[in-house]
Structure 1
Amino acid sequence: MTTKAYGATAADKPVAALDIDRRAPGANDVQIDIAYCGVCHSDLHTVRSEWPGTLYPCVPGHEIVGRVTAVGSDVSGFKVGDTVGVGCLVGSCQHCASCDEGLEQYCTNGFVGTYNGRTADAPGHTLGGYSQRIVVDKKFVLHIRHPQEQLAAVAPLLCAGITTYSPLRHWGAGPGKKIGVVGIGGLGHMGIKLAHAMGAHVVAFTTSESKREEARKLGADEVVISKDPAQMKAHAGSFDFILNTVAASHNLDAFTTLLKRDGTLCLVGVPEHAHPSPAVFNLIFGRKAIAGSLIGGIAETQEMLDFCAEHGIVADIEMIDAQGIEAAYERMLKSDVKYRFVIDTATM
């Protein structure tokens, strides 16, 4: 089935209109007409081959919201007309220890990404959500329960939302816990909203004084300017957990010193260049940990979507036309968005 899409044919080519083919729905498939697709930094890194292994043509997009238009004969739980989402995963082995535990993102045999993942479908790799339509195995389709008027702002939850929700849940954010969120961008603004809704005491870290009021509006109880040594020192040894969303190389010691005994600094941003090696002293004298977290499994992503629907949480977005993707990429590089671009697929 020929479908209109936006993608690139080479690393040095701009994202532009393409025609792609989607498979006919099989017995276990759900066909979705895409209404909105969020724009993630991963899209930019992949389409421009800033990360290794990009396959072309590359159609990015893994923050997908749309409506079911067909279901396979063996599909239950979804019907034509349902509002659904698709996140970063469209396949995994389904039989390793991680998959058995509903942690498909850690599939021992490698998950299949929503774009740039190996597949039997032409052209041999998956093509993502910058398109009018997608066909996905039922196991990787999610129910969206937000009202119609919020659907565009729901799209970024499928990546930015679950990327922050999963570590907050895993490390027990909630009442009585002091939680830090480093960086107030696409990921960080979701981390603040979610930690606040979970009932934690939330402290936002930013290098910019101008973001103080924004962070409070998002749900931060306190805001610390991380460039100010006095403000940082005032919080030494007081955090249960710090979620670090910054994707630029920086000194992690500034944050490990803020952790309580047994506290964890969790990284979810991947810098282009490695962070400076952290001081081991800070970790040993306090049994502290530096950890990482990758998106979330399908069950947890559904849990996150339901939690957000219950608490009225969506991303702060700016809607763009498909023709404006390249301009949006350039603005993303300058952090000139509050806080996530979303493509209106009707403009294709």
Structure 2
Amino acid sequence: MALLEVNNLDVRFALRGGDVRALRDVCFSLDRGERLGIVGESGAGKSVAAFSLLNLIAKPGYIAGGSITFDGEELSGMKDRGLRRIRGNRISMIFQDPMMTLNPVLSIGEQMVECLKAHRRISTREARAISLHKLNQVQIPSPETRLDQYPHELSGGMRQRVIIAIALLLDPDIIVADEPTTALDVTIQAEIMDLLLELCEKHNVGLVLITHDLGVVSQVTQRMLVMYAGRVIEQGPTREIINDPQHPYTQGLINALPQMATPGSRLNQIPGSMPSLSNLPSGCAFHPRCGFVNDANGEPRKACLDKVPGFVDSGNCRVACHMVAELVNQQQRDSREEIL
């Protein structure tokens, strides 16, 4: 049994014009020590999926259906008192902006001690000793000095290291990192991701990494989900998806990487933009932007326009695409004919 299992997760936002489904039928699992990446454009539902794990969705958002099971416990319907045992203790979260996460009027040490004493019955001296050890783990220079400094006195990279140290304070089983390097420059991004990967491997901590950076995902994670308009449209081993993407949207994301363009030419891009969740296209939500919506005769595939695609197995990956389903079915028919 996986440490974390998410099945048919449905998240909605209650608006005046009716409920808007931000996530629909999202399924994935995470084993102890495993690293999972969730990628997609802005508005795909990545952060909503991350926040849903600990029911941190602000109203008018709510979990409308599905289950989130952590170590045998159901989290989706758990009361706040029960969730407090899990949040920060067994599942920690790293948010996008460290300056918004840290309290500007409390020193780093005060915030770390407060976090520890909220979950454990220990003295302030013991809590400071643990905090100092964690700051050492994330390679912050002069950690004794940093404990008594305030967030504004640290650089962006330092603040993000402090956030990682706080996430590790209570030795969690899972860290959920929501675009943890967004506000940092490229060299600091690489340092932070290397540090996070090293700590997860050393302490056997599961990682759910939310990002739009396929380069980071390819280097850090073992499995990945690709999301579009609130649905998972491809999932499988990271290396297999990066090297041989099956869904046209995944292919578009990889082709849009700078290194995929000819030097001196315009970068590749996916035409159009993410649809509004309150006005999704019929059938496959990606079909208005898809270069493969037409069949060999140049006619639009009726299924793409009318029917939401289900998952089909392609190699070790699962893909929600009518075109891939056609190809897989054809391959299966060819194989049966060869056997006969």
Task: Calculate the TM-score normalised by the size of structure 2.
Answer: 0.29
Larger Rg: 2
TM-score (norm 1): 0.28
**Bigger proportion of residues as helix:** 2
